[in-house]
Chains A and B, each alone.
Chain A
Amino acid sequence: MRALMPLATFVCLALAVPLLAPLVSGGTWWVPGLVLMAAAAGTSALYRLTGRTPAPVPLLQVLVVLLLVTPLFAAHTAPLGVIPTEASLGYLVQVFEQGVASINDGVVPVSANSGVTFVIALTFAVFLIVADFLAVTARCAGMVGGLLLILMAVPLVVDPGGLALWQALWCAAGYVALLAVETWMRRRAWGAPVPSPVPGDRALGGMRRAGTAALAGAAAVLMAVTLPTAVPSLRTDAFYDLADGNHPGFGENVVRTTHPLVSMRRELNSDSDSTVLTYQTEAENPDYLRTYVLNRFDGENWTMDPVDASGENVAGDDLPLPTGWDTEAPGGTTTTQVSFSSSAPRQEFLPLPYWARSVDVSGQWHVDEDSHTVFTTGRPPTGLSFTVESNRRAPGTGDLEEAGSPHSLPTDHLELPRDVDPSVQDLTDSLTEDTGSAYERAVAIQDHFADFSYDLRPPEVPAGSDPLTHFLFEDRIGYCEQFAGAMALMARQAGIPARVAVGYTQGERAHGDRWVVTSGDAHAWPELYFEGSGWVRFEPTPSSGGGQGSASAPEHTDPSGGEGLDGDSGSPSPSPSESPSSPEGSEAPEEETQGPDEESAPPGADEDLGTEAGGARTDSSGGPDLSWLVHAGGVLTALLLLALPALVRAWVRAARRSALARAPGPAAHAAWREVRDTCVDLGLPWDLSESPRATAARLELPAEARGALWRLALAEESARYAPEPVADGKPREDLRTVHAALAASAGRSTRLRAAVLPRSLVPWKRPRPEPLPAT
């Protein structure tokens, strides 16, 4: 019997092995793990049969596992295949390192070489030793669930396919079996259960237990379904490894960064509009700051290509000319000094104006020529400062109109997955039907977004429908990510090379030549390629009050040439249809966007609020102030919550009082339960091994209350043990007397606590049988 628990632990963990099945491909990778676990469990079981102190069990298990590892993995290095030598130790370390490396670098499913098998086997052996300690030595089999959760988390995090139902069920079955064995052992420690003499009682008990189990299961399922909606979830695509394209498979040149779109969403949705960076520039109208470039569409998201980290350190050096430029643009260079706020998260990519001619920054930084982004493979410091010299080319509409076919691009930036909804292509075709040049097509696509709405928290996309078509055809609400992504996609469909840039708008002028960029200025926009002009920024996202506050459509995206000034774009208007990119409306003239602090009023914190938020603000300032109602409601709710335990307790008490009118037996039980709960509430000890009369003798009460307590105790005693329960006395009055006397015997603070937070409502504060004797 002593060996049962170790074996149950083994079975439980063995059933968890299939969790890793989809992550490892091929062969018998699970066999050594099972062998090691079986050996460790067997060691524990055999040792425990001796009945000695269990302290050395983990040590013995580790020894057995170490001894077995040699014949399993390094047999050729050992004499007779069993005896470990120095060579076998070295070999094992090597195998382990190889396993770790292939797990780190491999793609799911990892092929099961000996290294991977070794790592898995060792992990399972360690888990079994820990589980054995928890379940058998420490007698907390429930804790093994934590280990199983760790194992379950592995496929959930690593495998995009997640966890199959059958794996989860196997694992749960093993866990339940372990718990069942533990419970059975505990019950057994009290001796064989006595069969009830009442026929049918056994079945009734079984039904009760089944009912309890069903209730607990239902509660667990309910919580599992509802709780995750209340807590932020971990997105599996939130982190991003960008391996060096030239040297795949080597660890040191990997940029590990948050997914650009994810970090942008985070910044836009953060409630505090904190400063990300400040910069000082000579430019009157500084350009957007580009951080990342996403040039691949996977059917759902725009993602980055791996960047080339093989080049030398570029800090302080001149950067290469961007693709499509044959010379520097006239107009000289502008110097910008950028300082990250110390509270801003580290960024492996630098936000730079386009085109950055040179960057003066401390540390090891590389440039990716194609996307023209500057990044580091190391860990950049927080609060980084750098100076960048930039050169800006403002293409005229004529240049763009006359641009030839794009021939100087290294890749054509037109590829799209096949499964893009055909209705999108139809839309693009209908928009570009009457246009001539690529530029006109681009402008037509940008204008299509003019009557879309901007909202940072767009309505939920119904399950099963494509987010892109939902945005384009159904609700037409979104923020920069959707606008930029959709436009870049449609531009590619229209034959224009396109990609999405992620970074910040120019932010707001603080004073003089100082500008402040806050997390609300995070932004994404499409870049389209025109031969002769290079990559050109477009702006489909609505700007100003109803959209991305500090965004502005560049001059060159308006074919009319930016001649007139249109007041609409500058005024804070909630209507998205008056966004600056609407055809009749509005370029955002440069003079105006220069000083958003002077004219377009909303302060930084409000810039990214959607239309509803803006409306609400107007309401609260204009209408009658009803906030006190909200406060009063809140206070009332809080009071109600505070009083909830007391109310429940009062209800229980009332229910028992009404039970006093029933037959003597149930009445006596109800009265005695109430005495018990009163004692528990007041923190008086209540011993389950005490009979009612022993309890009555123990509680020290004044004479009158003592008599009442004795009457209640004797009534309960006769209800429990006598052939016919007798009713005598007035339980209602007696109960009141006893309650008053018990309360009087306690201190004031105890009484208050008993009234507000009655312990008797808390299951684990109620008297329970003591822990069971050791076996």
Chain B
Amino acid sequence: MSLGTQHDGQGGGVHSEVREVVTVAERIRGAIETVIEGKPEVLRVTLTVLLAEGHLLIEDVPGVGKTMLAKALGRAVDCSVQRVQFTPDLLPSDITGVSIYHQDRHEFEFNPGPVFANIVLGDEINRASPKTQSALLECMEERQVSADGRTRPLERPFMVVATQNPGDMEGTYALPEAQRDRFMARVSVGYPAPQDELDMIDSHSAGSPLDALAPVTSAAQLRALADRVCEVHVAPGMRRYVVDLINATRTAPELHLGASPRATLHLVRAARAHAALDGRHYVVPDDVQALAVPVLAHRLLPGPEARMERLTPEQIVSRIVARLPVPGPR
């Protein structure tokens, strides 16, 4: 099985510029697949977001392996991993950290919170109060923590992997649009196929396979790969294609709220990572098309007509993609 949009192995060879990206990504994918089986699409988006230095939102019903996926990702990379279980009584300082007064030294000492890590797992993020949710906002976007008048930068790579239950579940505070917009992509895991579920019974009965998972890469290597991804070529036509796509979501009659300029940046960055994962040093429309739904759908608000027709944002994005001509000579 392949990571990219290659078809029957005919999608061209791996370019030397991105060979390291492909090898490392293959290793991570192999490691995670020992825990989560039969979800290549989800893994592809997860790796894309990791390499594009974005944040990932995993949304699904309980028990399908959201946390497992996040934990496996944390294990596969040899870096600091912190986990926050969001509950309604969680306070902002529980995330960012707290200053404690030392009586002997007569000074405050900052006790960093769980956000000071390379990979932060925010479990069931929509169970926390809006106040706590928004504490995460600054960290995610600016990659720094401001507390007690001091700003502390967060170390690269920094990735928030948040899981949440669908909005209509009990005891949830829906994430506001502003916060959803900060996640580069949203995926849902979905139920496994029957065969995968059978395999899962075997592998999980002996004990958690997570324990056997050894790191396959380091934080330093991830930083280097992320830098490499930034060099992936985006042709002028491709830039225009992305902007046309974003613009179409803004003018589509079915949509009440279109994608933000931040979404444009996220889409281009993700497309670069996607291209590199596919072994290319340039972005093609297929990268954008494959990422349009995960990157854009969670930011859009359907209008009343779309709601009446029961059109989901995913369907609307797919329609726009199917309608938009790819760049090329006419």
Interfacial residues, chain A to chain B (CB-CB below 8 A): 188-192, 194, 196-198, 669, 673, 687-694, 696-697, 706-707, 710, 714, 716-718, 720-723, 769-770, 773-775
Q: Are A689 and B325 also in contact (CB < 8 A) when A191-B247, A720-B235, A722-B235 are? A: yes
- Distance from B224 Cβ to chain A, minimum over Cβ atoms (Å): 21
B20-28, B132-140, B281-289, B306-314 - interface stretch: B281-289
Residue pair A690, B326 in contact (C-beta under 8 Å): yes
- Distance from B304 Cβ to chain A, minimum over Cβ atoms (Å): 11
Closest chain A residue to B285, Cβ basis: A691
- Distance from A409 Cβ to chain B, minimum over Cβ atoms (Å): 79
User: Is B237 part of the contact surface with A, judged by Cβ < 8 Å?
Assistant: yes
Residue pair B325, A769 in contact (C-beta under 8 Å): yes
Residue pair A688, B325 in contact (C-beta under 8 Å): yes
Residue pair A689, B282 in contact (C-beta under 8 Å): no
Closest chain B residue to A718, Cβ basis: B282
- B12 neighbours in A (Cβ, 8 Å): 710, 714
User: Is B207 part of the contact surface with A, judged by Cβ < 8 Å?
Assistant: no
Closest chain A residue to B9, Cβ basis: A710
- Distance from A4 Cβ to chain B, minimum over Cβ atoms (Å): 15
Residue pair A691, B253 in contact (C-beta under 8 Å): no
- B284 neighbours in A (Cβ, 8 Å): 691, 693, 717, 720-721
- A673 neighbours in B (Cβ, 8 Å): 329
Bound Cα distance from A757 to B92, whole angstroms:
71
Q: Among A689, A718, A775, which residue has its beta carbon within 8 angstroms of that of B326?
A: A689
Residue pair A773, B251 in contact (C-beta under 8 Å): yes
Residue pair A669, B233 in contact (C-beta under 8 Å): no
B44-52, B64-72, B111-119, B316-324 - interface stretch: B316-324
B229-244 vs A: 1/0 string, CB under 8 Å? 0000101111110011
Q: Are A688 and B326 also in contact (CB < 8 A) when A191-B250, A196-B236, A721-B282 are? A: yes
User: Is B11 part of the contact surface with A, judged by Cβ < 8 Å?
Assistant: yes
Bound Cα distance from A194 to B289, whole angstroms:
19
Q: Are A707 and B10 also in contact (CB < 8 A) when A688-B325, A693-B5 are? A: yes
- A197 neighbours in B (Cβ, 8 Å): 236, 239
Residue pair B253, A773 in contact (C-beta under 8 Å): yes
Residue pair A693, B243 in contact (C-beta under 8 Å): no
- B240 neighbours in A (Cβ, 8 Å): 194, 196
User: Is B328 part of the contact surface with A, judged by Cβ < 8 Å?
Assistant: yes
Bound Cα distance from A673 to B328, whole angstroms:
11
Bound Cα distance from A687 to B235, whole angstroms:
21
- Distance from A349 Cβ to chain B, minimum over Cβ atoms (Å): 64
Q: Can you offer 24 A-B residue contacts whose CB atoms are under 8 A? A: A190-B248, A191-B246, A191-B251, A194-B244, A669-B329, A687-B322, A689-B324, A689-B325, A689-B326, A691-B284, A693-B7, A693-B284, A710-B12, A716-B328, A720-B327, A721-B237, A721-B282, A721-B283, A723-B235, A723-B281, A773-B251, A773-B253, A773-B323, A775-B251
- A697 neighbours in B (Cβ, 8 Å): 7-8
Bound Cα distance from A190 to B248, whole angstroms:
6
Bound Cα distance from A717 to B286, whole angstroms:
11
B76-95 vs A: 1/0 string, CB under 8 Å? 00000000000000000000
Bound Cα distance from A697 to B289, whole angstroms:
15
Bound Cα distance from A710 to B12, whole angstroms:
8
- A774 neighbours in B (Cβ, 8 Å): 253
Residue pair A192, B247 in contact (C-beta under 8 Å): yes
- A769 neighbours in B (Cβ, 8 Å): 323, 325
- Distance from A260 Cβ to chain B, minimum over Cβ atoms (Å): 60
- A689 neighbours in B (Cβ, 8 Å): 321-326
- B210 neighbours in A (Cβ, 8 Å): none
Bound Cα distance from A774 to B233, whole angstroms:
34
User: Is B252 part of the contact surface with A, judged by Cβ < 8 Å?
Assistant: yes
- Distance from B263 Cβ to chain A, minimum over Cβ atoms (Å): 14
Bound Cα distance from A673 to B237, whole angstroms:
18
Identify the 8 closest CB pairs spanning chains A and B, nearest first. A191-B247, A688-B325, A691-B285, A697-B7, A722-B282, A710-B10, A721-B235, A723-B233
Given contacts A689-B324, A694-B285, 10 further A-B contacts (CB under 8 A): A191-B243, A191-B246, A669-B329, A689-B321, A706-B10, A720-B235, A769-B325, A773-B252, A773-B323, A774-B253
- Distance from A130 Cβ to chain B, minimum over Cβ atoms (Å): 26
Residues facing A in B190-239 (CB within 8 A) are: 233, 235-239
Residues facing A in B262-291 (CB within 8 A) are: 280-286, 289
Q: Among B233, B247, B282, B289, which residue has its beta carbon within 8 angstroms of that of A691?
A: B289
- Distance from A692 Cβ to chain B, minimum over Cβ atoms (Å): 8
Closest chain A residue to B252, Cβ basis: A773
Bound Cα distance from A196 to B238, whole angstroms:
12
Closest chain B residue to A191, Cβ basis: B247
Centre residue among A191, A692, A710 by max chain B CB count within 10 A: A191
- Distance from A704 Cβ to chain B, minimum over Cβ atoms (Å): 12
- Distance from B290 Cβ to chain A, minimum over Cβ atoms (Å): 10
Bound Cα distance from A692 to B327, whole angstroms:
10
Bound Cα distance from A307 to B244, whole angstroms:
74
Bound Cα distance from A428 to B235, whole angstroms:
87
Closest chain B residue to A766, Cβ basis: B330
- B289 neighbours in A (Cβ, 8 Å): 691, 694
Closest chain B residue to A195, Cβ basis: B240
Q: Among A690, A717, A773, which residue has its beta carbon within 8 angstroms of that of B248?
A: A773
- A714 neighbours in B (Cβ, 8 Å): 11-12
Bound Cα distance from A196 to B7, whole angstroms:
32
- B243 neighbours in A (Cβ, 8 Å): 191, 194
Residue pair A693, B11 in contact (C-beta under 8 Å): yes
- A189 neighbours in B (Cβ, 8 Å): 251
Bound Cα distance from A190 to B250, whole angstroms:
9
Bound Cα distance from A197 to B243, whole angstroms:
13
Residue pair B253, A696 in contact (C-beta under 8 Å): no
- Distance from B272 Cβ to chain A, minimum over Cβ atoms (Å): 12
- A692 neighbours in B (Cβ, 8 Å): 328
Bound Cα distance from A8 to B284, whole angstroms:
41
Bound Cα distance from A707 to B11, whole angstroms:
10
- Distance from B179 Cβ to chain A, minimum over Cβ atoms (Å): 26
Residue pair A190, B282 in contact (C-beta under 8 Å): no
Residue pair A694, B327 in contact (C-beta under 8 Å): no
Bound Cα distance from A707 to B326, whole angstroms:
23
Bound Cα distance from A773 to B7, whole angstroms:
32
- Distance from B321 Cβ to chain A, minimum over Cβ atoms (Å): 7
- Distance from B309 Cβ to chain A, minimum over Cβ atoms (Å): 13
Residue pair B10, A691 in contact (C-beta under 8 Å): no
- Distance from A593 Cβ to chain B, minimum over Cβ atoms (Å): 75
- A717 neighbours in B (Cβ, 8 Å): 284
Residue pair A191, B326 in contact (C-beta under 8 Å): no
Closest chain B residue to A771, Cβ basis: B323
Bound Cα distance from A194 to B327, whole angstroms:
13
Closest chain A residue to B235, Cβ basis: A721
Residue pair A721, B10 in contact (C-beta under 8 Å): no
Residue pair B325, A190 in contact (C-beta under 8 Å): no
- B325 neighbours in A (Cβ, 8 Å): 688-689, 769
Q: Are A191 and B248 also in contact (CB < 8 A) when A693-B7, A721-B282 are? A: yes
- Distance from B149 Cβ to chain A, minimum over Cβ atoms (Å): 42
Bound Cα distance from A73 to B280, whole angstroms:
75
Residue pair B326, A693 in contact (C-beta under 8 Å): no
Centre residue among A196, A197, A689, A707 by max chain B CB count within 10 A: A689
Closest chain B residue to A188, Cβ basis: B251
Centre residue among B237, B280, B323 by max chain A CB count within 10 A: B323
Q: Are A694 and B247 also in contact (CB < 8 A) when A721-B235, A721-B237 are? A: no
Bound Cα distance from A449 to B237, whole angstroms:
80
Q: Are A691 and B237 also in contact (CB < 8 A) when A191-B250, A773-B252, A775-B253 are? A: no
Closest chain A residue to B242, Cβ basis: A194
- Distance from B238 Cβ to chain A, minimum over Cβ atoms (Å): 6
Residue pair B253, A723 in contact (C-beta under 8 Å): no
Centre residue among B250, B252, B286 by max chain A CB count within 10 A: B286
Residue pair A696, B7 in contact (C-beta under 8 Å): yes
Closest chain A residue to B254, Cβ basis: A773
- B280 neighbours in A (Cβ, 8 Å): 722
Closest chain B residue to A775, Cβ basis: B253
Bound Cα distance from A707 to B244, whole angstroms:
32
- Distance from A92 Cβ to chain B, minimum over Cβ atoms (Å): 42
